[in-house]
Amino acid sequence: MPCCFATLKFRQCGHSMLFKLGCSKSECAEICPSKRRQFLLQTEYMWRCEDCVEFEYKQSSDLKASEWDTYYARIRSNRFLSPENRESLTLTARNREIRQEAARDQRRSGCVEEIQRVVDWVEEYGGLVWDLVYGHKRDFEESKNRLQFLRAAKYWDLIVVLDYVRKARDPWDKENFPNWIDNLIQEIRGIRPATPAAGPETPRSAGGSSALPAFRGFQSGMCRMAALDEAAELTQRMTDIDIQGSGSSSDITSESSSDIASESNYVLESGPARKMSPDEIPRSLPNEPSGLYDPNDYLSILFNADVVMKDDDASSILSTDKEEPDYIS
């Protein structure tokens, strides 16, 4: 009897995880020689591993903090601002920094939780296959029901490349899936020899779209937070004119928030207001740190439908210009 394993490969970062499911030799401490190894389950996850996600968010947080510090220093050194305006701008920027940091933490937590659920799925599914084929568990009906439940709960971006219990050619043929396990049970009982089946699954995409978000971390609260950010950006765009020394903050603060939103496409100069053409409307705030209003950020995409997502994490995998590996279906 072989030494059995399950694997999980992360496509974007190239890292892999190896799960030892079991071995027939009681003295097998780690891994048996290659001639006695067998892979009962091989899977691929379309995104990064947990360590890479944590490292990326750590770098992003450090960069944003440095940019905000530079922004605060520019406010303090501006001689055109009164002490009251300087304090007001600093407080507004601080609140925005806190909100954006909370949104990044929520996205990071969603990514990590999903990766952990994927790891648990691979480990449990592989353990059930091991118990069914080579282990001492012979409650076939319980194993069959649990395997069906796990396959129904599998994420679309977790691809099964090799599954020992799969016999049908169509990996998403749910009607025939119980028959695969029934055939395997008959093979285990000695009716006919067991032969493992190979061939990957083809990942499904929701709604046929080729550009899907890397993680499902958005809730209704985050959408409301994005709306607040957009309103704050309009206000910040107006008050940033004071930092450059043109315009009067008292004129701006006297206006209502609805007036600011309705007049956001006008240029405030020393003279009368001049309406901007569509080409003159800026895509980003001129005096904020770079990246704080990033059109590639998922929150910004909600309000910029004409912006094409250029995130390397998603486009490198889900781009329509890049062909998927030619697996045997």
Average pLDDT over residues 29-44: 84
| Length, in residues, of the chain | 329
151 is a domain residue: yes
At 109 the pLDDT is 92
Inter-residue contact 114 to 143 (CB < 8 Å): no
**Residues 37 and 176 reside in one and the same domain:** yes
| 230, 295: one domain | yes
Instruction: Pick 112 or 30 by higher pLDDT.
Output: 112
What is the sign of the dihedral through the CA atoms of 297, 302, 306 and 311? positive
In this structure, the answer to whether residues 99 and 67 fall within a common structural domain is yes
Please state the pTM of the whole predicted model: 0.52
Backbone angles phi, psi at 23, to 5 degrees: -145, 145
Model confidence band, residue 19 (pLDDT cutoffs 50, 70, 90): very high
Is residue 327 included in any domain, yes or no?
no
The reply to whether 125 and 36 lie within a common domain is yes
Same domain? 20 vs 61: no
End-to-end CA distance of the chain: 29
Cβ–Cβ under 8 Å, residues 74 and 38: no
Residues 9 and 130 in one domain: yes
CA distances from 110 to 106, 205, 211, 222, 249 (A): 6, 19, 19, 12, 40
Q: Is residue 304 part of a domain?
A: yes
Considering only the C-alpha atoms of the chain, give the largest distance between any 2 of them, rounded to a whole number of Å.
Answer: 92
Residue 64 has a CB neighbour count (10 Å cut-off) of 17
Query: Average pLDDT of 244-271?
Result: 42
The pLDDT assigned to 57 comes to 92
Of the segments 139-148, 160-169, 174-183, 219-228, which one has the largest average pLDDT value?
139-148
Residues 218 and 304 in one domain: yes
For residue 182, tell me if it sits in a domain: yes
* pLDDT (0 to 100) of residue 138: 64
Last residue of a domain, one of 208, 240, 255: 208
pLDDT tens-digit series, residues 62-120? 999 999 999 999 999 998 889 899 999 999 999 999 999 999 999 999 999 999 999 99
- Percentage of the chain with pLDDT > 70? 48
Q: Which of 154, 176, 208 corresponds to the end of one domain? A: 208
- Is residue 329 situated within a structural domain? no
- Has residue 257 got a pLDDT over 90? no
Given a cut of 90, whether residue 2 has pLDDT beyond it is no
Three-state secondary-structure class, residue 260: helix
Which stretch of 65-79, 188-202, 203-217, 273-287 has the lowest confidence by average pLDDT? 203-217
Please tell me the least confidently modeled range out of 51-55, 65-69, 193-197: 193-197
Q: Are residues 69 and 167 in the same domain?
A: no
Task: Give the range of the structural domain holding residue 167, as residue numbers without chain letter.
Answer: 3-49+117-208
Domain end marker among 165, 187, 208: 208
* 3 state DSSP class of 191: coil
Question: What gap in Å lies between CA 2 and CA 72, rounded to an integer?
Answer: 63
**For all residues of the chain together, what is the average pLDDT?**
67
- Asked whether the predicted pLDDT for residue 287 surpasses 60, the reply is no
Dihedral sign of CA atoms 200, 125, 195, 17 in order:
positive
Measured CA to CA in angstroms, residue 164 lies from 43, 132, 145 at distances of 12, 11, 16
If asked whether residues 221 and 293 sit together in one domain, one would say yes
Residues 97 and 195 in one domain: no
Domain count, the chain: 2
Within a domain: 326 = no
